[in-house]
Structure 1
Amino acid sequence: MSVNQPQEQLLHRLYSHHHGWLLAWLRRKVKQSEQAADLAQDTFLSILNANNVQDILEPRPFLATIARRLVANYHRRQVIEAAYLDALATLPEAQVPSLEERALALELLQQIDHTLNKLPIKARQAFLLAHLEGLSYAEIAVELQVSTSSVKQYLTRANQQCFFSML
Structure 2
Amino acid sequence: MALAELVQHSEVHALYSSHHAWLQGWLRHKLGNAWEAADLAQDTFISVLSGGAAAPIREPRPFLATVARRLVAHRHRRQVLEEAYLAALAALPQSLAPSPEERLLALEALQQIDAALDGLVPPVREAFLLAQLEGLSYAEIAARLNVSASSVKQYLTRANRHCFFALPA
Shorter chain as normaliser: what TM range? 0.7 to 0.9
The offset of 1:117, in angstroms, is 2.3
For residues 57 and 150 of structure 2, what CA distance do their matches in structure 1 show? 47
Per the normalisation by structure 2, the TM-score is 0.85
Aligned-residue offset at 1:73 = 0.9
Aligned to 2:99: 98
For the residue of structure 2 that corresponds to 1:56, the secondary structure is coil
- Cα deviation for residue 23 of structure 1 reads 0.8
Give the 3 Å change call, closer, same or farther, for CA 111–8 of structure 1 in structure 2. same
CA distance in structure 2 between the aligned counterparts of 1:93 and 1:71, rounded to whole angstroms: 34
Cα deviation for residue 4 of structure 1 reads 1.6
Partner of 2:67: 66
User: How does 1:77-116 map onto structure 2 within 5 Å?
Assistant: 77-116=78-117
Calculate percent identity across the aligned residue pairs: 61
CA–CA separation in structure 2 for the residues paired with 1:30 and 1:131: 34
Structure 2 residue identity aligned to 1:125: E
**Which stretch of the first structure deviates more once superposed, 76-85 or 129-138?**
129-138
Q: Give the partner amino acid of 2:108.
A: E
Counterpart CA distance in 2 for 1:47 and 1:120 is 24
1:41: how far off?
0.8
| Structure 1 residues without counterparts, runs of 5 or longer | none
Moved over 6 A (4+): none
Report deviation, 1:17.
2.2
Q: TM-score, normalization: structure 1? A: 0.86
Deviation at 1:67, TM superposition (A): 0.9
Contact conserved, 1:29 with 1:71, CA < 8 A, in 2? no
User: Quick one: which amino acid aligns to residue 5 of structure 2?
Assistant: N
Q: How does 1:23-42 map to 2 (within 5 A)?
A: 23-42=24-43
Distance verdict in 2 for CA 1:6–1:164, change over 3 Å: closer
Structure 1 residues 149 and 36: alpha-carbon distance in aligned structure 2, compared to 1, 3 A threshold: same
Conserved 8 A contact 1:129-1:140:
yes
- Counterpart for residue 160 of structure 1: 161
Shift of residue 64, structure 1, vs aligned partner: 0.9
CA contact (8 A) 1:40 1:67 kept: yes
Aligned residues: 166
Superposed, 1:12-51 pairs within 5 Å as: 12-51=13-52
